[in-house]
Amino acid sequence: MSIYNMLNDDEEDKNKKSSKKILCTKCKGSDFSDKDDLRKHFKTPWHNFNVKLSAQGKESFSMEDFDEYALMHPEVLK
């Protein structure tokens, strides 16, 4: 399975040139406009935390949920 999925941004207007989004399969609500942004994302505490959750068979955190969790548990940022 690949690390990201390419999806059409606008399915309603087939004649319009659609833009692509790159999604991280580990992080809820993540989308990136290019591969460089995705590579930068792979180095973030949010992504690394979600990779660990995934390895334990647990559900990933959205960015907002991770930010709240990190405020209460700053050790995840180390």
- pLDDT range class, residue 19, cuts 50, 70, 90: low
For residue 61, give the nearest of 45, 74, 78 by alpha carbon.
45
Within 1-78, residue ranges assigned H as helices are 35-41, 45-55, 63-72
Evaluate the CA torsion angle 50, 51, 56, 58 in order and state its sign.
positive
Could you read off the pLDDT of 24-39 as tens digits, one per residue?
999 999 999 999 999 9
Question: CB-based contacts of 16: which residues, under 8 Å, 6+ apart?
Answer: 10
